[in-house]
Amino acid sequence: MAHDDGFPAQQQQPPGLTEPMTPRPDHGEESYVGSGKLEGQRALITGGDSGIGRAVAIAFAREGADVAIVYLPEEQADARETAEWVAKEGRRCVLIPTDLRVEIDARSAVRSAAEQLDGLDILVNNAGYQMARRQSFADVTSEDLDRTFTTNLYALFWVTQTALEYLPDGGSIINNSSIQAYQPSESLLDYAATKAAINNFTVNLASELGPRRIRVNAVAPGPIWTPLQPATQYSEKIEKFGSETPIGRAGQPAEVAPAFVFLASNVTASYVSATVLGVTGGKPVF
């Protein structure tokens, strides 16, 4: 966990890995206790190798679900570690290294997950990209926009469209939004715009899929200690990361995963759809 005075200065190159991080994030490895909320379910988690995605994979496995995780090929070491934690629970973890920015590959990844898990019940759209190492709006390039919007929005559409070929009536879709949709940082203008769009996507799709009883929700995390942070922030920002929240610190992935479990489960959230659930350290999501 972070000390009250913040994190040590550190920096990586995107997409970032868990091992070099100081302190190491808490994904619930030693703390999350399941209670069968997702017994027999099959879940696809994009960006499931590390950070929030890893915490969700561990929690889902402990709730009784088999999982498939999609991640960039350069994140293989993190993905293997996630798979080991899932396997310890006696659940399957299908590893699918794929760059979701390529449409044919994004759709193929979903089909591969469904084939290897013999179907899909839950989709978690967690993969995302940001870049905060900029001085001003003028520094945002077309290449930046392509990477951010393709990762955060285009892939979201492709993955979800394909998953709907497999999700049964009564399935669940959970998107990863952000406090940035409500309180955008100047250095994350393009990222914040995609997260606001994800909120809109969530509400619209929930309306369309209501007749199929497929619930569509989102989780909006605040500042969470994941590899995305040292891979995209300046070192001096890392030292103060999360200190501006009312709770006064950044959150850990393990503190976000239970929100995904709640929304995924037809036991706990059978009447919850079109909702964005904030896990923000006290920052308001309205």
Please report the sign of the dihedral spanned by the C-alpha atoms of residue 7, residue 11, residue 14, residue 20.
negative
Q: Of these residues, 182, 191, 234, 271, which one is catalytic?
A: 191
Angle at 7 between CA 141 and CA 261, to 5 degrees: 80
21 CB-side CA count, 13 A: 24
Would you call 234 a catalytic residue per the annotation? no
Beta strands across the sheet bearing 66-71: 93-97, 66-71, 42-46, 122-125, 172-176, 215-221, 276-279
Please report the sign of the dihedral spanned by the C-alpha atoms of residue 54, residue 72, residue 225, residue 123.
negative
Residue located via tokens 């350069």: 74
Angle at 279 between CA 255 and CA 110, to 5 degrees: 80
Angle at 279 between CA 84 and CA 95, to 5 degrees: 25
Using an 8 Å Cβ cutoff, are 82 and 58 in contact?
A: yes
Residues identified as active-site: 191
